[in-house]
Amino acid sequence: MSVPSRTIDFLTDHRRRRARRHLTALGLLLALVVVVFGITLSVGKSIVSPLDVLRVLSGEPVPGTSFTVGQLRLPRAVLSILSGLCFGLGGVAFQIMLRNPLASPDIIGITSGAGAAAVFAIVVLQMSGPVVSLLAVGAGLGVALLVYGLSFRNGVGGTRLILVGIGVSAMLQSVIAYILSTAPSWSLQEAMRWLTGSVNGAQLQQALPLLLALVVFGGILLSRTRDLEALRLGDDTASALGVRVSQTRMLVIISAVGMIAAATAVTGPIAFVAFLAGPIAARIVRSTGSLLLPAALVGAILVLVGDYVGQVLLPSRYPVGVITGALGAPYLIFLIVRVNRTGGSL
Amino acid sequence: MTDHSLVATGLSAGYDGKEILKGLDLTIPTGRITVIVGANACGKSTFLRTLSRLLVPTKGHVLLDGRSIHRTPARQLARTLGLLPQAPIAPEGITVADLVSRGRHPHKSLFSRWTRKDDEAVDGALTATRTFDLAERPVDELSGGQRQRVWIAMALAQETEILLLDEPTTFLDINHQIEVLDLLTDLNRERGTTVVMVLHDLNLAARYADVLVAMAGGRVHAFGTPEEVLTEGMVHDVFGLESRIVEDPLSGRPMMLPIGRHRMAGIGR
Amino acid sequence: MTSASIKAPARLHGMVARSSRMRALWLLALVGVLALLAALSVTIGTRSVAWADIMAAVRGGQETIGQAAVALRIPRTLLAVLSGAALGLAGAIMQGVTRNPLADPGILGVNMGASLAVVIGVAWFGITSAQAYIWTAIAGAGGAAVFVYTIGSLGRGGATPLKLALAGAATSVAFASLVIAVVLPRGDIAGGIHAWQIGGVGGATFERVVPVLPFLGIGFVISLLSARKLNSLALGDDVAAGLGEHVAAARAVASLGAILLCGATTAVCGPIGFLGLVVPHLCRTLIGVDHRWLLPFSAFGGAALLLGADILGRIVARPGEIDVGIITALIGAPFFIWIVRRQRVREL
């Protein structure tokens, strides 16, 4: 067949433009993360000059600010970024795989599962540290497989999975509520962590499991970017394109749940970040490329900004989950309206 | 021309433990257009799904060049055998060029870059389906016929020598149905692609098929040229309908006219 | 005409009579179970009380600790029966009005709407009286019902089971996070609201129960009177209109009854989920789809189930107790999942 090269050039150009737009969007998001990170470190109830922040970060002792920045603000910001990345990436992976924004881990019960396990381990078994994270990851995975198994009938219908997940989530929520109600010595603040998520009392060593989850599971997810993109065309089409659908799904579930649960064990289920990151990222990058990285960055920004608003900008202090929850609630409803009206997806 | 062979032997498959295909044998003629017809629930879609690896058979095999497709690595298979499912999903806002590029998936590995050859394949697919002018448009904005052409373009970009299509003309207006069937015929004539499709409309099936397959009860009921297969007896056995077969004055192919209880003045009562 | 078709009316009459007898028997059995549970509810509790004290307490005695404990169980039992009946009935109405097997005051977000309204009333407007609680809750329930139904019926196909359930669940989740956002900065009310938010009948007193009685009464009457309308609606809006039913009005009236019931119940007990889902389904398997029977059955069944769940919550966690809202979620959610699984693939 003869190929006129003019049309090929046009196609190449079209593709390059899209790739460039995608990279620009990614760059902007990354820059935004850095800027917000900087602001949260330097501007709080007291203002620290950016120069001093840099000096603290490089390990130089700065009298009066080393503690505020190094011990209070830095761990908070680092934890916010890491958990936001985890929630955003894990959430969007689910949404892409099941082709439905409502299929996010915080709606289909995975965060509730991890949260219930963490609360159980801490309140009833009196445990702490990495064991709690491990348990939470295990429970999150268990719930994910349970929901997946329960919605399996001639393959998994995305919407059936969501409804089953909502049911499972309701049960787990009531378990959490019960365990918290039997622990009268607990302060409301601590209970809030497990009901909506917060980064209060963050310490740098908590970042380690998150980092680990991010590298291992995030790596697996990113290596599957192309398969995930093909899944957006429907299971049948993806399969026709040579994607091993069930294998890809298993890998995606395991890695996404791993990240979500690891983050939940540290910060609690920060409300709606996993749910919001994907759709927001989709608005930003449009359809210029994969949503995985943009959604992860949006997740980080959401948690950083949410925590900053809750701590600094409002008259009384709120944990980050309350802010993201209050922001996410109307968006969730808006999304339902839109999905119903257009039958559209992410 | 292609020289791949696709053969189903003793194929049984179904859902929920309910067997729909019951020991079906069929050799797909290479380089021809094969059209499968049959009443609802006779297993035509199930057959196509099994043929394309979407469904694992409970008994029997689908052999591509003598090798079971369920033992062939997915990506390798997808370079030979393409499928256009009945209800493919276009992600919101995706452009035509992007969607068609997705057809290159089986030719890409994790780290391989996009090459000139990929661009050529996409360009060829867009040109063949006359969708090049739509390249930058979002798929959601297209008409039904345009959209179906774009999906076929995606399957073309996959550059498979066998293409399976599950009712590619459903939900299309009659003019778009003809457009799609003409396009598939072009494809078969120009590239030698083996086309296998399920169609609802018997007369369109007879007009466009090189080989017509009538299915009933999960088996092949009749197989052959349209003239051999589309007979009054077959229509009666497969659809339970009395009919008259006449010659289509345009194509010379057989054409089925159904006999109902009313307005049958022409045949007397 | 064949002889079979001549006999048909007589045969039909026989069938109806037989099934009516069966239904009456079932109803009697259900009332019996309810009475038994009520008796159990008064005698069983976290604390074991001697028979003599129980009898004395039922007659109004409050001398010993045991008698006092039993005296507390009486209003609690009453509340459990009333709210169970209200939620069961409301569930049946909602399933009928929406023709949706997944409808339930919890899943459709109505209970959460009532609780958000109450929480806002308490936190921002300082409401305290029982009357104010109830009116606020009913307003919230009504608002949420209209809201969810509107969202759920947007787009192609109208209010399909799936779209309604998703809209309701999403609204519930959204409202729940708003409840937390409203409550959190108010340390003074947070503890009380958190206990209420779980949903339970513990700590009921006659003073708290009496104010809701008129609301529940009106709700019961409206709901039970709409049985015939629901039977027409069950055939689809077009057919119902063809049968001479004013569809929109029928829907509005029946919904009003359900909203009164949910709102009033939520005001006293907090949001109790899944009861309204489970009960009508169970009743339907017993006595069929005729709402003239289904509605009273759902009321009695709901009362029995909530009372049973409350008794269970008192037994399993001794010396503490589990709030009934937790028990109903643990029983009801698997049931919900079962129904979702049973739905045809095409619909989901």
Residues of A in contact with C345 (CB under 8 A): 153-154, 157, 160
In this predicted model, what pLDDT tens digit does every residue of B159-195 receive, in sequence order? Answer: 899 999 999 988 788 988 998 899 999 999 998 999 9
Dist CA C102 CA C340 (whole Å): 8
Q: SS3 string of chain A?
A: CCCCHHHHHHHHHHHHHHHHHHHHHHHHHHHHHHHHHHHHHHECCCECCHHHHHHHHCCCCCCCCHHHHHHHHHHHHHHHHHHHHHHHHHHHHHHHHHCCCCCCCCCCCHHHHHHHHHHHHHHHCCCCCHHHHHHHHHHHHHHHHHHHHHCECCCECHHHHHHHHHHHHHHHHHHHHHHHHCCCCCCHHHHHHHHCCCCCCCCHHHHHHHHHHHHHHHHHHHHCHHHHHHHCCCHHHHHHCCCCHHHHHHHHHHHHHHHHHHHHHHHCCCCCHHHHHHHHHHHHHCCCCCCHHHHHHHHHHHHHHHHHHHHHHCCCCCCHHHHHHHHHHHHHHHHHHHHHHHCCCC
Q: Any chain A CB within 8 A of the CB of C340?
A: yes
CA of residue C254 relative to chain centroid, distance: 14
Asked if B74 and A243 come within 8 Å (Cβ–Cβ), the reply is yes
> Which of the 8 DSSP states describes residue C129?
S
Instruction: State the pLDDT at residue B264.
Output: 81
Q: How many CA atoms lie within 13 A of B55 on its CB side?
A: 25
**Hey, what's the torsion of the CAs at C197, C202, C208, C213, to 10 degrees?**
90
Is C239 in contact with C293 (CB distance < 8 Å)?
Answer: no
Dist CA A326 CA A228 (whole Å): 30
> In angstroms, what CA-CA distances link C323 with C47, C48, C105?
16, 19, 18
**Residue B16, burial from CB neighbour count under 10 angstroms (0-12, 13-18, 19+):** exposed
Map residue C324 onto helix, strand or coil. Answer: helix
Provide the token pair at C250. 């029928």
In this predicted model, what pLDDT tens digit does every residue of C183-210 receive, in sequence order? Answer: 877 767 777 777 777 777 877 788 888 8
Asked if A226 and B105 come within 8 Å (Cβ–Cβ), the reply is yes
Report whether pLDDT(B199) > 90: yes
Report whether pLDDT(C306) > 90: yes
Is A211 in contact with A82 (CB distance < 8 Å)?
Answer: yes
Instruction: State the pLDDT at residue A211.
Output: 93
- Name which of B49, B102, B135 is nearest A233 (Cβ-Cβ): B102
Q: Which residues of A36-65 are buried (b: 16+ CB within 10 A; e: fewer)?
A: bbebbbbebeeebeeebbebbeeeeebeeb
User: Testing the interface with A: which of C180, C188, C196, C342 to mutate, by most A Cβ within 10 A?
Assistant: C180
Rounded mean pLDDT, C240-267: 87
Neighbours of C17 (CB within 10 A): 10
> Is the pLDDT higher at B192 or at C65?
B192
Instruction: State the pLDDT at residue C201.
Output: 81
Rounded mean pLDDT, C246-267: 89
Report whether pLDDT(C3) > 60: no
Report whether pLDDT(B77) > 80: yes
Q: Omega into A184 within 30° of 0, i.e. cis?
A: no
Q: Any chain C CB within 8 A of the CB of A6?
A: no
Closest CA to B216 of B197, B205, B229: B229
Asked if C340 and A188 come within 8 Å (Cβ–Cβ), the reply is no
> Which of the 8 DSSP states describes residue C346?
T
Report long-range pairs for A127-131 (Cβ below 8 Å, ≥24 apart). A130/A209
In this predicted model, what pLDDT tens digit does every residue of C131-143 receive, in sequence order? Answer: 888 899 999 999 9
Q: Any chain A CB within 8 A of the CB of B93?
A: yes
> Is the pLDDT higher at A104 or at C86?
C86
**Residue A316, burial from CB neighbour count under 10 angstroms (0-12, 13-18, 19+):** exposed
Q: How does residue C347 score in pLDDT terms, banded at 50, 70 and 90?
A: very low
Q: Any chain A CB within 8 A of the CB of B119?
A: yes
In this predicted model, what pLDDT tens digit does every residue of C143-183 receive, in sequence order? Answer: 999 999 888 887 766 666 677 777 888 888 888 888 888 88
One pLDDT digit (tens) per residue for chain A, 346 residues: 444 567 788 888 888 888 899 999 999 999 999 999 999 988 887 888 888 888 888 888 877 778 888 788 899 999 999 999 999 999 999 999 888 888 888 888 898 898 899 888 888 887 777 788 888 889 999 999 999 888 876 655 667 888 888 889 888 988 888 887 777 665 556 666 777 788 888 888 888 889 999 999 999 999 999 899 898 888 889 999 989 988 998 899 999 999 998 898 888 888 889 989 999 999 898 877 889 999 999 999 999 999 999 888 887 788 888 888 888 888 888 887 877 776 544 3
Mean pLDDT over the full length of chain C: 83
Q: How many interchain CB pairs under 8 A, A with C? A: 141
Closest CA to B77 of B99, B57, B106: B106
Q: Any chain C CB within 8 A of the CB of A157?
A: yes
Q: Any chain A CB within 8 A of the CB of B153?
A: no
Asked if C166 and A341 come within 8 Å (Cβ–Cβ), the reply is no
CA angle, residues B25, B29, B32, in degrees to nearest 5: 140
Q: Which residues of C271-283 are buried (b: 16+ CB within 10 A; e: fewer)?
A: bbbbbbbbbbbeb
Map residue B91 onto helix, strand or coil. Answer: coil
B257: phi then psi, degrees, rounded to nearest 5: -115, 120
Dist CA A76 CA A39 (whole Å): 13
- Chain B, 172-201: which have a CB under 8 Å from a chain A CB? 190
> Which of the 8 DSSP states describes residue C320?
S
- Name which of A182, A196, A341 is nearest C180 (Cβ-Cβ): A196
- Name which of B89, B98, B126 is nearest A234 (Cβ-Cβ): B89
Asked if C151 and A195 come within 8 Å (Cβ–Cβ), the reply is no
Asked if A318 and C184 come within 8 Å (Cβ–Cβ), the reply is yes
- Chain C, 167-196: which have a CB under 8 Å from a chain A CB? 167, 169-171, 173-175, 177-178, 180-181, 184-185, 187, 190-191, 194-195
> In angstroms, what CA-CA distances link A142 with A109, A258, C99?
11, 11, 34
- Chain C, 275-314: which have a CB under 8 Å from a chain A CB? none
Dist CA A101 CA C152 (whole Å): 16
CB neighbour list of residue A236: distance below 8 Å, 6 or more residues apart: B49, B54, B83, B85, B86, B87, B88
Residues of A in contact with B159 (CB under 8 A): none
- Name which of B85, B124, B135 is nearest A237 (Cβ-Cβ): B85
Instruction: State the pLDDT at residue A174.
Output: 85
ipTM of the complex: 0.81
Instruction: State the pLDDT at residue B222.
Output: 93
- Name which of C102, C167, C185 is nearest A316 (Cβ-Cβ): C185
Nearest CA in chain B to A242: B75
Nearest CA in chain C to A339: C155
- Chain B, 222-241: which have a CB under 8 Å from a chain A CB? none
Asked if A340 and C163 come within 8 Å (Cβ–Cβ), the reply is yes
Dist CA A210 CA B13 (whole Å): 45
- Length of chain C measured in residues: 348
Q: What's the longest Cα–Cα distance across chain A?
A: 79
Mean pLDDT over the full length of chain B: 89
Dist CA C102 CA C91 (whole Å): 9
